[in-house]
Amino acid sequence: MESSTTESPDSQIATGKAVTENPASNQRQIRIFDTTLRDGEQSPGASMNLTEKLEVAHSLAELGVDIIEAGFPIASPGDFESVKQIAETIKGSTICGLARCNDKDILRAAEALENAESARIHVFLATSAIHREFKLRMTPDEIVSRAVAGVKLAASKCGDVEFSPEDACRTEHDFLCRVVEAAIDAGATTINVPDTVGYVTTEEIYKIFQMLRNRVPNMDKAVLSTHCHDDLGMAVANSLAAVAAGAGQIECTINGIGERAGNAALEEVVMAMQTRRDFYDCTTRINTKRLVPVSRLVSKVTGINVQRNKAIVGRNAFAHESGIHQDGMLKERSTYEIMSPEEVGFAKTDLVLGKHSGRAALADRAKTLGFDLSGEELQKVFDQFKILADKKKEIYDGDIVALVQQQITTSEDQTWELVDYEVTSAKGKTPCVKLTLSDGGENKSVEVTDGDGPIDAAFWAVEQITGVKLVCKDFRVRSATLGRDAIGEVNLEVEHNGRLYRGMGVSTDSVESTILAMLNAINRIASGG
């Protein structure tokens, strides 16, 4: 039996023969489209307030993200306002708003983006047979007509239009080609091919992208993009296979957060392309030294912890415990590390600050850790820093991160604030909490002698004063740094009227941290965020 000289797509990927436009040309630059603020925020319990979204957007722009999908403007007044403020504030990245293929969605997105330095409208419409039949109840002709109308309207409002045939990877190839060609003719400048349910394999997605490049006659007029979900744990691998097949844009999120099992992780696709530049023959604009700081920021504002063994940004990503590994590392670092921790933003040292440190030193260290503090925000963090410095001899990076994050998560128009509290508790005795809260300047107090311990009693006391009934779904306490005097950081998730809300509080006292976290959640409820 004669062997074929034509290699299959999967064998090309396996042997490193990535497809490029021109092997002799300069490396392709792959656009990074970050959807942390839209798809990532759809993770259960991961919603962010406006201050948090702006902080993340600034960090993404500093990271070098090409396109920031800031939200879904039609979804709610809060989503519209966040997209609008991000569009007006952020420079250096294109700001994108999502819209379904209908006039109201598209016009609302255009309104939110009208003051952006660089704007994109991203319209989508499901195309797979299962979505056509059961969700949309539309014929193929109706789908094409709706897609064309949506893209044309978006193009009349914005020169940069992206079209996504939702569930593209389960759409019949002939129909997918037809829709894509029609969308490009209507004015789409980017065609995104979503693996909406994380179903396809690397070989399948490679073939889909090759098929679109070969069969769609006007494909050269648009950038092909990939958007993969991680339901089978293949989002990163599939995104990279799409790049190997000619994709010019990857849609991803920080830490891989997103609906269900999440999205392709930005830090993983970027470092894979950089570390294996010999394979993919492409580059990005990403400043990789900002990956760890941005990862930590997103983890803090969403309340979603990064697993210790997470690739690139996990605490164990560059840790070596095995004696054999340690011996190899001491002799030659590259024996067990294919990239350096400094390359992705891990700091070699944990800078110690004290009560004599000034605002400039605090701002500089916060910047290194991923936070850009200035003006009133810097002053508020500095005030808390000084209070903490009087309690602790030395303040470490983790303490600073906790203080900054508490400021970010604190609403500017707080309804409830902690004034004072007193706790008594002993083995075999019912705990007692005396609590005073301020409601818009008016102090309200209560004394509670109930609960299984001081934390439980604090919950009861806060509920009694505020009148807000909460069901605690998750309660986590962690130390921000080492030592007996370390800040205790409380992250909780509560349910109120069927909706989940997050709360965060930090203090050297775990009871105070709990009260602050509860008030943070209650203030979110009061503000509708």
At residue 264's C-alpha, the angle toward residues 254 and 186, to 5°, is 105
Q: What is the pLDDT of residue 69?
A: 98
- Length of the chain measured in residues: 529
- Residue 295 in tokens: 């990862």
Model confidence at 428, pLDDT cuts 50, 70, 90, reads confident
Q: What is the pLDDT of residue 354?
A: 75
Residues contacting 216, CB < 8 A, separation 6+: 177, 180, 181, 184
Has residue 162 got a pLDDT over 90? yes
Residues contacting 101, CB < 8 A, separation 6+: 123, 124, 125, 146, 147, 149, 150, 151
Instruction: Return the amino acid letter for 433.
Output: V
3-state secondary structure 484-501: CCCCEEEEEEEEECCEEE
Has residue 141 got a pLDDT over 50? yes
Determine the CATH number of domain 24-302.
Answer: 3.20.20.70
Distance (Å) of CA 145 to CA 49, 141, 151, 282, 518: 37, 6, 10, 36, 50
Give the span between the Cα atoms of 150 and 152, in whole angstroms: 5
Burial label for 368, CB within 10 Å (0-12, 13-18, 19+), is middle
For the stretch 185-198, pLDDT in tens is: 999 999 999 999 99
How many other C-beta atoms lie within 10 A of the C-beta of residue 175? 17
Burial label for 286, CB within 10 Å (0-12, 13-18, 19+), is buried
As a whole number, mean pLDDT of residues 319-338 equals 55
Give the span between the Cα atoms of 490 and 506, in whole angstroms: 6
At residue 401's C-alpha, the angle toward residues 398 and 406, to 5°, is 125
Residue corresponding to tokens 């392309």: 273
Cβ-contact 262, 41 below 8 angstroms: no
Has residue 6 got a pLDDT over 60? no
Model confidence at 329, pLDDT cuts 50, 70, 90, reads very low
Considering only 23-27, 318-322, 374-378, 387-391, which range has the smallest mean pLDDT?
Answer: 318-322
Has residue 152 got a pLDDT over 90? yes
DSSP three-state, residue 350: coil
Residue corresponding to tokens 């919603």: 47
User: Where are any strands of DSSP class E within 111-201?
Assistant: 119-126, 161-166, 190-195
For helices 397-409 and 50-63, angle between their N-to-C axes, nearest 10 degrees: 130
Q: What is the pLDDT of residue 337?
A: 66
Ramachandran class of 435: left when φ > 0, alpha when ψ lies in -120 to 50, beta otherwise: beta
For the stretch 502-513, pLDDT in tens is: 888 888 888 888
Q: What is the pLDDT of residue 123?
A: 98
Burial 78-108 (b: 16+ CB within 10 A, else e): bbbebbbbbbeebeebbbbbbbbbeeebbbb
Q: pTM (2 decimals)?
A: 0.79
Q: What is the pLDDT of residue 305?
A: 86
How many other C-beta atoms lie within 10 A of the C-beta of residue 515? 27
Nearest to 66 by CA among 107, 24, 37, 35: 35
Cβ-contact 189, 156 below 8 angstroms: no
Average pLDDT, the chain: 87
DSSP three-state, residue 297: helix
Domain boundaries, the chain: 24-302, 314-348, 359-409, 416-527
Beta bridge partners of 216: none
Q: What is the pLDDT of residue 529?
A: 60
Residues contacting 369, CB < 8 A, separation 6+: 293, 296, 397, 400, 401, 404
Has residue 413 got a pLDDT over 70? no
Distance (Å) of CA 510 to CA 41, 422, 479: 28, 13, 10
- Residue 333 in tokens: 């670092």
Cβ-contact 419, 440 below 8 angstroms: no
Burial label for 41, CB within 10 Å (0-12, 13-18, 19+), is buried
Cβ-contact 487, 507 below 8 angstroms: yes
Give the span between the Cα atoms of 360 and 438, in whole angstroms: 32
Determine the CATH number of domain 416-527.
Answer: 3.30.160.270
- Residue 473 in tokens: 């779904």
- Residue 152 in tokens: 């044309």
**Quick one: how far is CA 521 from the chain centroid?**
20
